[in-house]
Amino acid sequence: MPAARQTRHERTAAEIVDAAWKLAAARGLAGFTLRDMAADVGMRAPSLYSYFGSKASIYDAMFIEGNRALMDRQQEWAASDSPTLHEAAAGFVEFCTENPTRYQLLFQRVIPGWHPSATAYASAVEVYDSMRARLAQLGVREAKHLDLWTALLTGLTDQQISNDPGGNRWSQLVDDAVDMFIAHTQGATS
Amino acid sequence: MPAARQTRHERTAAEIVDAAWKLAAARGLAGFTLRDMAADVGMRAPSLYSYFGSKASIYDAMFIEGNRALMDRQQEWAASDSPTLHEAAAGFVEFCTENPTRYQLLFQRVIPGWHPSATAYASAVEVYDSMRARLAQLGVREAKHLDLWTALLTGLTDQQISNDPGGNRWSQLVDDAVDMFIAHTQGATS
DNA sequence: GTCTATATTTGGATAGAC
DNA sequence: GTCTATCCAAATATAGAC
């Protein structure tokens, strides 16, 4: 099997995961079935088992893909000429709010009975470590400040998604919130 | 039927709701069944239908009870000699983190297919209006500051519940976060 | 009001032919 | 690899006796 290009099998597996994302966005992460996914890719439910061993393993694939996307996004921000805390914050909140379903999968536990497998969870740890290193470069080094930072951004994100989906009532407050954060922490971190 | 005291029927209904809370805490809001609840109160599943028309209506009862508890708590804080923003914040985060299941029921939408009924939702609106009035008394009057306030508190709560359940890694930051908030908003609100 | 028995639906997963 | 057919389990809800 050539490693360089995607095999047919891998392409089909990716199609199934795409269908899962689409259905999750429409009906919620726990609101679709194997039959639904199969129908979306023109198959019957049992055929999915040629690609995934269980429904949980499909969630795993989505979880890994979501973390991969966040890692990619972070690297885009890092490539900016002079990355700032404001950009990092706006980027994170945008990443989360542009796909609330993905946010729920990555950061909340809303699927009854499902938890990411060990290998899937490792992808989340990788992302967090990368984010921590990046924040350190931008001057946020104290553990408490990092915790306050994550609380501030996830709080804005949660409110935005829960109470104004599709709008910008809370996401528009990101710059203001970062100003507040900087004013509060600069004496201790810079 | 005497209105003053609780009837036997009402007591049994309350027992069922208590069992639901207990099971939700142990297995998640969507992780228990009518059979489980019934067993917990020494009944069989069909008997619950003498008290509630559906499982959804039991969630409704829990939702209303949770909002009732939050309203009661707010009134306790208001009775303080000189209520402060710090006390309001600490009280809210404590209320949420002392019962993560209740927080999820009241503020997130984690039960597939369930939404609070119109009458249940009204209890949530009542609580929010009360909180808004109270915050106004404490000097938080601008809409944007109120939104920032809710984001800050729910962010700390979410992080605490999701990433350090039972601990105080984020809840200990409440005072610090309120200081930050006050420093940022006092020029505009006081 | 509570029970047993059962209807009904749903959905994950498997067997085996092709 | 995909299908049809089916299993199996779970869970809400209803019927009707007591």
- How far does the CA of residue B58 sit from the closest CA of chain A (Å)? 19
Contacts of A142 (CB under 8 A, 6+ apart): A185, A188, A189
Q: Is B3 exposed, middle or buried (0-12, 13-18, 19+ CB in 10 A)?
A: exposed
CA–CA–CA angle A37, A42, A43 (5° rounding): 70
Is the Cβ pair A151, B159 closer than 8 Å? Answer: yes
Tell me what pLDDT residue A3 has. Answer: 60
Which of A92, A101, A147, A173 has the highest number of chain B CBs within 10 A, making it the mutation to test binding with B? A147
Distance, angstroms, CA A2 to C1' C11?
37
Q: B119-169 pLDDT, tens per residue? A: 999 999 999 999 999 999 999 999 999 999 999 999 999 999 989 999 999
Model confidence band, residue B189 (pLDDT cutoffs 50, 70, 90): very low
CA dist A184 and B135 (Å) reads 22
Mean pLDDT of chain A: 94
Q: B42-69 pLDDT, tens per residue? A: 999 999 999 999 999 999 999 999 999 9
- The chain A residues in contact with chain B (CB within 8 A) are 28, 30-31, 107-110, 112-113, 144, 147-148, 150-156, 158-159, 162, 169-170, 173, 176-177, 179-181, 183-184
Q: B76-90 pLDDT, tens per residue? A: 988 888 889 999 999
Is the Cβ pair B109, A162 closer than 8 Å? Answer: yes
Model confidence band, residue B25 (pLDDT cutoffs 50, 70, 90): very high
Q: Tell me the average pLDDT across A72-79.
A: 91
Nearest to A178 by CA among A92, A71, A51, A59: A92
- Asked if residue B109 has pLDDT above 90, the reply is no
Nearest to A67 by CA among A121, A114, A28, A118: A121
Tell me what pLDDT residue B2 has. Answer: 55
Model confidence band, residue B190 (pLDDT cutoffs 50, 70, 90): very low
Tell me what pLDDT residue B110 has. Answer: 80
Q: A163-178 pLDDT, tens per residue? A: 999 999 999 999 999 9
- Please tell me whether the overall predicted TM-score, pTM, comes out greater than 0.95 for this model: no
CA dist B185 and B190 (Å) reads 8
CA dist A36 and A108 (Å) reads 24
Q: Is A28 exposed, middle or buried (0-12, 13-18, 19+ CB in 10 A)?
A: middle
